[in-house]
Structure 1
Amino acid sequence: MTRLKLDGFTGLLLLTVALTSILPCRGSAASVFAVLTKAAIVLLFFMHGAKLSRDAVLAGLGAWRLHLLVLAATFGLFPLLGLGIARIPASVLDPDIAQGMVFLSILPSTVQSSIALTAIAGGNVAAAVCSASLSNILGVFVTPALAAVMLPHTTGAGQGGFLAAVTDIATTLLLPFLAGHMSRRWTAHFVHRHKALLMRLDRGSILLVVYTAFSAAVVEGLWQRITAADLVAILVLDALLLAVVLFVTTRVARLFGFARADEIVVVFCGSKKSLASGVPMAAALFPVSLVGTMVLPLMFFHQLQLLVCAVLARRYAERTAESAAAGAPVPEAA
């Protein structure tokens, strides 16, 4: 049962949604929170860039086949499954939820949890750093492009919305990320010494974005549109989506003959979706009143991927330990 325990951040997310449902920000307060949210997102991605080790990225660049497979899962397999979900009739699945599931499917991979789980499982950490970071950087351009094709009515693409969304995401996410990475000469030591503080800042920024987004959704009648049955449908669809991707990435990695350390990277980086990138992207891509609905599937998926992949990471680690104890060689990573 300890494996089913919610992580602390998920608890804070749920509390934030509950607080927003009771006390959403309105009027001039909403304008103030919108400015604060923008500043928090910029700072968040600046720190993400400052934390990224250039040496680790360069060390993992050689495993190009691995990175292509991760990107294929993130921006190929996931969106195809999202299109399948979008074809579910409106009489069976609420169209807003279907759109949220599609948005989930086109997001980039996580960075921190993918690397952490790869390390726990005994995988190729350098390749995980490179692959997850590459996914996030490409996501700044790929996610809006996929949204323009798969969610044209929601994003307003075709009326200049796509270009505006890409510009907003690039200036809010990509430029601060690159600036943070370029500042490592001066900030790396501070980042290394204050990891706990920066994690609080990271999570606090996401909570602020969630509060602002859900405030607008609640004011527009979110909980009059979304029922308990809808929440169950989201959980079931998230679980099926994660199960299919985990199965496919594992089988394909083995079919291609990847070493176990590289298979771990494909499985963990290829099956994740980033809450830290997804919530700010939703704020840039969609009308304020829709952001809360669009990120609901992502919030469920966030907890589910952590729970399931933590169990998988432990199993990978146990298998590696058993192979070492039995004297069986463990293939080296690329």
Structure 2
Amino acid sequence: MNRLRTLVDPFILALLGTVLLASILPARGMFAPFFSGLADAAIVLLFFLHGAKLSRAAIVAGASNWRLHAAVFVTTFLVFPAIGFGVSSLPFLAPPVASGLLFLTLLPSTVQSSIAFTAIARGNVAAAVCSASFSNLVGVFVTPLLVALLMGGGAAALSWHSVETIMLQLLLPFGAGHALRPLVGGFVGRHKSVLTIVDRGSILLVVYSAFGAAVVEGLWHRLSPASLGLIAVCCVAILAVVLLLTLVAGRILGFTREDAIVLIFCGSKKSLASGVPMAGVLFAPAQVGVAILPLMLFHQIQLFACAFIARRYAADPIEMVAAARPASA
């Protein structure tokens, strides 16, 4: 029975159910901004609670962990693009599909899901906040440069909306929660189930809102099932390689279990929230749809894969610790 519960993760089933619901009953009209706003509110609450939970010492330690942040940065903006460039050069990929696959590998890491999965896996949440937020902020500038270098696109000047969103929706609530820690920290500590509900609930809301918007825009009518399957296979292959590399890198660099978790979850993600508006600026209107399709599929695949991995870390920490530690001499 326990083995069956491990194989059939209730959270993965919830994710699949959310995707199915978004495909059948996507939010339309006045409901679309409502669910989008609800997802944003859940994310704000998530970061407020994480800020209230973490001690000052934990935050300082997370911000000062430069080796971990450097490893995440290298994975996100060097390793990922190298893999994407290789995959996009495969001769059997249509040019628009190849461009979309390369584009997704040039994006920054996600913020909310990286931190949520790090928390579920009992990793270093403070370091995840710093690393994922830094990746997203730097990506506003680095991604257009990578697009110009590897895709020949124009690195158009991006608006500051993405930066403002990160500051107002993520970092500000985190700071407010930490500032109010003397008042609410005890409550959060006594009710850890609240964090679990917010962690997973925020992911489900983001999936429903983002995937539903794609369905409304005609996701299932743009490409043939065979083309969608090929894109999905490429996305799975890219993610599998990066997950393996981050796991091995955590061992080679001698990271603790908590930091190794951060490298896996922050280093393997690509941000749908950042990628969609960036694509709207960097690509011609007729190219945006196909350019973001691989990203949308990769986004769902990474959530399913990381949900399973996070649950494995939480359920069997001894086994995962052994995998994350360097081999003794």
Query: Normalised by the shorter chain, which TM-score bucket?
Result: 0.7 to 0.9
- TM score, norm. by length of structure 2: 0.72
Q: Which amino acid aligns with 1:215?
A: G
Q: Which amino acid aligns with 2:33?
A: S
In structure 2, the partner of 1:111 is: 115
CA-to-aligned-CA distance 1:45-97 (integer Å, 9 cap, x gap)? 32333333332233466654344334433443233323433444542882575
- Measure, in 1, the Cα distance between the counterparts of 2:273 and 2:78: 22
Higher mean C-alpha deviation, range 218-227 or range 90-99 = 90-99
The change in CA–CA distance for 1:132 and 1:218 in structure 2 (over 3 A counts) is same
Higher mean C-alpha deviation, range 278-287 or range 202-211 = 278-287
Q: 1:233 pairs with 220, 230, 235, which one?
A: 230
Q: Which amino acid aligns with 2:300?
A: M
Q: Which amino acid aligns with 1:9?
A: F
Q: CA deviation at 1:239?
A: 4.0
RMSD: 4.2
In structure 2, the partner of 1:170 is: 167
Q: Which amino acid aligns with 1:27?
A: G
The change in CA–CA distance for 1:64 and 1:33 in structure 2 (over 3 A counts) is closer
In structure 2, the partner of 1:31 is: 33
- TM score, norm. by length of structure 1: 0.71
In structure 2, the partner of 1:187 is: 184
- Measure, in 2, the Cα distance between the counterparts of 1:46 and 1:275: 24
- Measure, in 1, the Cα distance between the counterparts of 2:207 and 2:116: 19
In structure 2, the partner of 1:102 is: 105
1:21 counterpart SS class:
helix
- Measure, in 1, the Cα distance between the counterparts of 2:306 and 2:249: 19
Q: Which amino acid aligns with 2:303?
A: H
Q: 2:214 pairs with 217, 220, 235, which one?
A: 217
Q: 1:82 pairs with 77, 81, 84, which one?
A: 84
Q: Would you say 1:146 and 2:142 are equivalent positions? A: yes
Q: Would you say 1:296 and 2:294 are equivalent positions? A: no
Q: CA deviation at 1:167?
A: 2.5
Q: Which amino acid aligns with 1:20?
A: A
- Measure, in 1, the Cα distance between the counterparts of 2:13 and 2:80: 27
CA-to-aligned-CA distance 1:261-293 (integer Å, 9 cap, x gap)? x26456432232489993544566455x95776
- Measure, in 1, the Cα distance between the counterparts of 2:309 and 2:97: 26
Q: CA deviation at 1:31?
A: 3.3
- Measure, in 1, the Cα distance between the counterparts of 2:109 and 2:195: 27
- Measure, in 1, the Cα distance between the counterparts of 2:80 and 2:299: 13
Q: Which amino acid aligns with 2:142?
A: L
2:114 counterpart SS class:
coil
Q: Which amino acid aligns with 1:50?
A: A
Q: CA deviation at 1:221?
A: 0.8
In structure 1, the partner of 2:128 is: 132
- Measure, in 2, the Cα distance between the counterparts of 1:228 and 1:85: 20
Q: CA deviation at 1:19?
A: 1.3
The change in CA–CA distance for 1:38 and 1:69 in structure 2 (over 3 A counts) is closer
Residue identity over aligned pairs, in percent, reads 34
Q: Would you say 1:269 and 2:262 are equivalent positions? A: yes
Q: Which amino acid aligns with 1:54?
A: R
Q: Which amino acid aligns with 1:102?
A: T
The change in CA–CA distance for 1:232 and 1:104 in structure 2 (over 3 A counts) is farther
